[in-house]
């Protein structure tokens, strides 16, 4: 009985150990540029320093091109066996020029996506670990910078300015009209008063987009571009959606009930 318990305990230990090992395996995928220009030569470095008994492991590196219609094409494949010494695995490839029907970031910056993938497999235990990372290829880093620091920033600044004008002047005027004008509607006035702090929250989210734009304009990296997207996502979240819906309703209500 004790032997059985010991065997189960051992198996559990090995099983949990393998699971923990798999989760802790850390693979770094480092492209030569975070944002690559179309037609440029690029390279990707794969690093893994936690595989044990390394010469039992083989590797396969793959670069795929993801088309806008969802199709994927393998551009380059490279494989081999790891040695006991830690290796830095590199794969080089040339990016295509941009076709016309590429995806556009915020409708402006044409981009196509490649994926750099690697998997390591153990020839004895048949374990496999793998990792993949997208690489974005755009028409021009300079155009991206201009878009971020001019177009996008101006767009956000314009809206922030208009939120300021409306919350400081237009809505208070609307509230006054609803309370004291020829046509009065207390309910609309009260709703505007309740909406004002929510518009302030919305403005804070807009200012956060602006902060991320400034950071990305100063340092064009994929992560910084994504931080803009994350800030835009936060702005487009549930609470602001509700605020904007209520804003539209109140605008129509004010026109119908308070204005001549």
Partner 1 sequence: MKKIIFFLILLFFISGCVQQQNNNNISQQTSKYPKDFYQNTNNNTPVDTPSKFKNNATDMENKLNDLGVELNNLMDLNNMSLDTQEEIELNTKHLSKDSFESDL
Q: Which residues contact 90 (CB under 8 A, 6 or more apart)?
A: 43, 44, 45, 46
Q: How far is the CB of 6 from partner 1 (least distance, A)?
A: 30
Among residues 45, 43, 48, 44, the alpha carbon closest in space to that of 85 is found at 48
Q: Which is nearer to partner 1, 28 or 55 (CB)?
A: 28
Query: 3-class DSSP state for residue 73?
Result: strand
Q: How far is the CB of 109 from partner 1 (least distance, A)?
A: 10
Q: Are strands 128-138 and 35-37 parallel, antiparallel or unpaired?
A: parallel
Residue 89 β-bridge partners:
46
Angle at Cα 85 formed by Cα 84 and Cα 89, nearest 5°?
A: 110
Q: How far is the CB of 2 from partner 1 (least distance, A)?
A: 35
User: In the structure encoding, which two tokens stand for residue 230, read together?
Assistant: 């994350």
- Position of tokens 């556009």? 104
Q: Which is nearer to partner 1, 42 or 110 (CB)?
A: 110
Q: Which is nearer to partner 1, 7 or 259 (CB)?
A: 259
- Position of tokens 């010494």? 85
Q: Which residues bind partner 1 (CB under 8 A)?
A: 22-23, 25, 62, 64, 72, 74, 104-107, 111, 113, 115, 117, 119, 121, 128-134, 136, 155-156, 158-159, 162-163, 165-166, 170-171, 173-174, 177, 202, 206, 222, 225-226, 229-230, 232-233, 235-236, 241, 244, 247-248, 251, 254-255, 259-260
Q: Which is nearer to partner 1, 30 or 131 (CB)?
A: 131
Q: Which is nearer to partner 1, 113 or 191 (CB)?
A: 113
Q: How far is the CB of 1 from partner 1 (least distance, A)?
A: 36
Q: Which is nearer to partner 1, 6 or 74 (CB)?
A: 74
Among residues 97, 92, 83, 86, the alpha carbon closest in space to that of 44 is found at 92
Q: How far is the CB of 183 from partner 1 (least distance, A)?
A: 10
Q: How far is the CB of 218 from partner 1 (least distance, A)?
A: 19
Alpha-carbon distances of 135 from 66, 125, 144, 152, 254, rounded to whole Å: 10, 32, 15, 23, 49
Query: 3-class DSSP state for residue 49?
Result: coil
């Amino acid at each position: 009985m004790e032997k059985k318990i010991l065997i189960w305990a051992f198996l559990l230990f090995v099983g949990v150990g393998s699971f923990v090992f798999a989760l802790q395996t850390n693979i770094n995928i480092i492209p030569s540029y975070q944002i690559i220009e179309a037609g440029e030569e690029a390279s990707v470095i794969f690093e893994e320093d936690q595989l044990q008994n390394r010469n039992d492991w083989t590797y396969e590196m793959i670069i795929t091109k993801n088309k806008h219609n969802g199709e994927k094409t393998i551009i380059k494949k490279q494989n081999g066996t790891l040695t006991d010494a830690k290796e830095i695995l590199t794969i080089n490839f040339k990016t295509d020029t941009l076709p016309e029907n590429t995806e556009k970031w915020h409708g402006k910056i044409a981009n196509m996506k490649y994926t750099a993938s690697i998997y390591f497999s153990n020839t004895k235990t048949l374990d496999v670990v793998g990792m993949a990372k997208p690489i974005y290829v755009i028409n021009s880093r300079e155009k991206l910078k201009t878009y971020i620091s001019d177009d996008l920033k101006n767009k956000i600044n314009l809206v922030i300015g208009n939120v300021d004008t409306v919350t400081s002047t237009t809505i208070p005027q609307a509230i006054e009209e609803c309370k004291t004008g020829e046509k009065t509607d207390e309910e609309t006035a009260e709703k505007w008063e309740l909406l004002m702090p929510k518009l302030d929250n919305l403005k804070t989210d807009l200012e956060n987009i602006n902060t991320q734009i400034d950071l990305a304009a100063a340092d064009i990296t994929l992560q910084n571009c994504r931080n803009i997207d994350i800030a835009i996502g936060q702005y487009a979240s549930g609470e602001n959606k509700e605020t904007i819906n209520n804003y539209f309703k109140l605008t129509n209500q004010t026109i119908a009930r308070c204005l001549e």
